[in-house]
């Protein structure tokens, strides 16, 4: 186990740097857009650009990796990403910024594919689940810590963009200096969306709903903080509390979903998410400590909906199609993430800053209703339950590792069945 961790330590450090920069830049751009006088709706459209780019990258970035290899492609993506971050200070134009966010999303998708496939190759069937957990903890810690980098400068000036560019560039160093052999690129076929939906309507719908909420919070959470008159340090703490709350509750909720019908757990998680939205809206007029507790509860419940939904799909899928299912879920998540910030911004523009949590309540209410309807329409099959896998709530996919862990678990079960 420890030997495997040492062999991927440089890769995890590169990933931590990526998430550190990602956490800071997302919050910075939301604040800077409002400082520049952009409307809430325009800010939402700008922030949507990253998820559009990630959706495109999920389809096409693998071609770049296959053509030039992992190391060269990672270097190219990181260089372009670093330039894109700096370019924001050249022209203060929402269309230009939207284009830069698309470029950012594409590069992030490519870099994460490189890291994940590499980490996957260095993991064995015996330790892959533990490696995945360590990977996702790195995800949350990096993104959460990145919020506090906002304290290093004034969002109205250019220095934070320079720092963000430096962090992305620094992410190159550990991976470029590693002596580990790069893995062979692979491009799994995606399952048609209609077929994927028929496998588990609840799982796919839950994935889309989770993506809409998660991308909206990551993109517009800082805008909410500014509009309710939080200071920059308070906004950083607010966003970090949501992310760390998600990290803390991933595993307890996951264990519960492994023991009971995931659809029932999904309903209760969604209901608690709705309740936490009411708590955040109420806490806005209370002390900042109460607001932090409320948003931490929201993050803890909301960020579990995606992994529960993904596990539900894999429960119902044919064991031979898990790779295609995983790739299809990535696309489904990208579609939801591309829609979320724009819709959330419309709610905020109409109802005020609390509108984002009204959107979350409606989103989760639809998921609850849909899941209840499906429970009455289809009897749950308990004999083929896939293991719960923790997944990021910040828009970052762990498709490669998630797929490998599922395949390893299935292989292990098949071997045990053969022996008996």
CATH number, domain with residue 298? 1.20.1250.20
pTM over 0.85: no
- Print the domain residue range for 195: 2-419
Task: Give me the pLDDT at residue 283, please.
Answer: 94
Q: What is the pLDDT of residue 258?
A: 76
- Nearest residue to 210 (alpha-carbon basis) of 178, 186, 239, 246: 246
- How many structural domains are present in the chain? 1
What was the pLDDT predicted at 57?
84
Q: Tens digit of pLDDT per residue, the chain (420 long)? A: 566 667 677 888 888 898 899 989 989 998 999 899 898 889 989 999 988 998 888 778 878 887 888 888 888 999 999 999 999 999 889 999 999 999 999 998 888 878 777 776 676 655 655 666 677 788 888 888 989 999 998 988 999 999 999 999 998 888 888 776 766 666 556 667 778 788 888 889 999 999 999 999 988 999 999 999 899 999 999 999 999 998 888 778 877 877 878 888 899 999 999 999 999 999 998 899 999 999 999 998 998 888 888 778 877 777 666 656 766 777 888 889 889 999 999 999 999 999 999 999 999 999 999 999 988 886 544 445 555 555 555 555 555 444 544 455 555 555 555 555
pLDDT of residue 417: 53
Give residue 290's pLDDT. 95
């Amino acid at each position: 186990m420890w030997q495997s961790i040492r062999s991927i330590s440089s890769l995890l450090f590169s990933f931590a740097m990526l998430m550190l920069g990602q956490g800071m830049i997302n919050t910075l751009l939301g604040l800077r857009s409002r400082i520049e006088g952009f409307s809430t709706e325009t800010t939402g459209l700008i922030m949507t650009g990253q998820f559009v780019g990630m959706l495109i990258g999920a389809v096409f970035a693998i071609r770049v990796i296959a053509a030039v290899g992992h190391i060269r492609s990672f270097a190219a993506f990181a260089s372009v990403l670093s330039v894109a971050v700096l370019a924001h200070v050249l022209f203060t134009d929402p269309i230009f910024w939207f284009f830069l966010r698309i470029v950012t999303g594409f590069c992030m998708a490519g870099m994460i594919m490189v890291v994940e496939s590499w980490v996957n190759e260095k993991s064995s069937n015996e330790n892959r689940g533990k490696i995945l957990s360590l990977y996702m903890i790195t995800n949350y810690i990096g993104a959460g810590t990145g919020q506090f980098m906002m304290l290093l400068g004034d969002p109205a000036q250019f220095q934070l963009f320079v720092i963000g560019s430096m962090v992305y560039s620094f992410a190159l160093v550990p991976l470029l200096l590693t002596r580990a052999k790069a893995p062979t690129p692979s491009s799994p076929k995606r399952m048609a969306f209609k077929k994927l939906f028929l496998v588990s309507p609840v799982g796919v719908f839950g994935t889309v709903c989770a993506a809409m909420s998660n991308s909206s919070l990551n993109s517009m959470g800082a805008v909410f903080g500014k509009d309710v008159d939080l200071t920059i340090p308070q906004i950083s703490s607010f966003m970090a509390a949501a992310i760390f709350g998600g990290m803390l509750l991933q595993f307890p909720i996951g264990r519960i979903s492994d023991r009971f019908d995931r659809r029932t757990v999904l309903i209760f998680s969604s209901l608690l998410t709705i309740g936490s939205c009411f708590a955040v809206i109420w806490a806005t007029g209370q002390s900042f400590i109460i607001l932090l507790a409320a948003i931490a509860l929201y993050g803890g419940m909301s960020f579990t909906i995606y992994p529960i939904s993904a596990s539900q799909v894999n429960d119902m899928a044919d064991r031979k199609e898990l790779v295609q299912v995983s790739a299809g879920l990535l696309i489904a998540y990208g579609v939801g993430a591309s829609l979320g910030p724009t819709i959330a911004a419309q709610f905020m523009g109409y109802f005020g800053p609390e509108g984002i949590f009204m959107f979350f309540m409606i989103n989760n209410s639809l998921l609850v209703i849909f899941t209840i309807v499906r429970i009455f329409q289809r009897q749950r099959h308990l004999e083929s339950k896939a293991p719960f896998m923790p997944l990021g709530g910040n828009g970052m996919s762990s498709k490669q590792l998630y797929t490998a862990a599922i395949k390893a678990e299935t292989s292990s079960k098949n071997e045990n069945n053969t022996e008996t």
